[in-house]
Structure 1
Amino acid sequence: MLAPVTDTDGSPFWQYAAQGELRIQACADCGELRFPPRPCCPHCQSFASEWRQVSGHGRIWSYVVPHPPLLPDYAAQAPYNVIVVELADAPRIRLVGNLVTEAGAPLDSLSPDRVRIGARVQVVFTDTGLPQWILERP
């Protein structure tokens, strides 16, 4: 599995994820949420920031199902899904991940035909702090 590439601006995201928390960078002056993390607020140009916890609920905004040829580490799990999730409490924020059956499940644990745009999802975290998504239960 590939490890996330971290930088100064994005490393808090991964530190919170390792603790099982989904947090999004926000401007400490105007309050606007932003993702991906960056040093300056695109709305007010402030360099002050903070990290706000969000609910982790969202809906599938888009998705793709890659098929081989892929990176060798992923080819054995294909086909699998890659989803774009629009956060419920921050609709302009969209995160990329995988829809799985449970936290830490393999990428191919959920049949691609179960993925639907608009489906409600909830974030879960692997043992290493990687955010994944599961279908919300009604």
Structure 2
Amino acid sequence: MADAKTEPLLTPVVDDDGAPFWEYAARGELRIQACAKDACGELRWPPRPCCPHCQSFDTEWRRMTGKARIWSYAVPHPPLLPAYAALAPYNTALVELTDAPRIRLAGNVVAKAGAPPNSVPPDRLRIGARVQVVFADQAGFVVPQWVLERP
């Protein structure tokens, strides 16, 4: 495992409901949990056992295009966690999926897959900017990151 002083890292907490998300991410796929009941089909995030719309326990994971737009972002000054001090300023973004507008995922906007969260200058970020998902291995977890469609 990487030394937190040289590679700041927040690792995801994987539970039974969310485990498929991380399994698909490891394959380079962005999938979102959906109700598998024919009359419903609602997407839901975060993953949970029961559909909040129809109360069905039938679940499937739908593949998304990975296209999104920046819904919100922050550039912490100073960093939120001491281990990230060397990377400040860096961004944290909330993106809204194009094919699932009610679904918003957190992550970093980076220059390329695996780049650090400070690889995109803060003045390049705008609410509404189009982004595309990329995946990066961080100490054994493949996590989604976001790259600007117009670098």
For normalisation by structure 2, the TM-score amounts to: 0.88
Give the counterpart of 1:102 among 106, 112, 137: 112
1:74 is paired with a residue whose SS is: helix
Deviation at residue 68 of structure 1 after TM alignment: 1.8
- The 8 Å contact of residues 79 and 89 in structure 2, kept in 1 or not, is answered as no
CA distance in 1 between partners of 2:12 and 2:59 (Å): 22
Report the counterpart of residue 137 of structure 1 in structure 2. Answer: 150
Is it true that 1:2 corresponds to 2:15 in the alignment?
no
Counterpart amino acid of 2:57?
A: F
Counterpart amino acid of 1:121?
A: V
Structure 2, gaps ≥5 residues long = 1-8
Question: 1:57 and 1:80, CA in 2 relative to 1: closer, same or farther beyond 3 A?
Answer: same
Q: RMSD of the TM alignment (CA)?
A: 1.2
CA distance in 1 between partners of 2:96 and 2:68 (Å): 5
Structure 1, gaps ≥5 residues long = none
CA distance in 1 between partners of 2:80 and 2:74 (Å): 13
CA distance in 2 between partners of 1:7 and 1:102 (Å): 28
Question: 1:4 and 1:101, CA in 2 relative to 1: closer, same or farther beyond 3 A?
Answer: same
Within 5 A, what are the aligned runs for 1:1-138? 1-29=9-37, 30-127=40-137, 128-137=141-150
For normalisation by structure 1, the TM-score amounts to: 0.96
Moved over 2 A (4+): none
Counterpart amino acid of 1:74?
A: Y
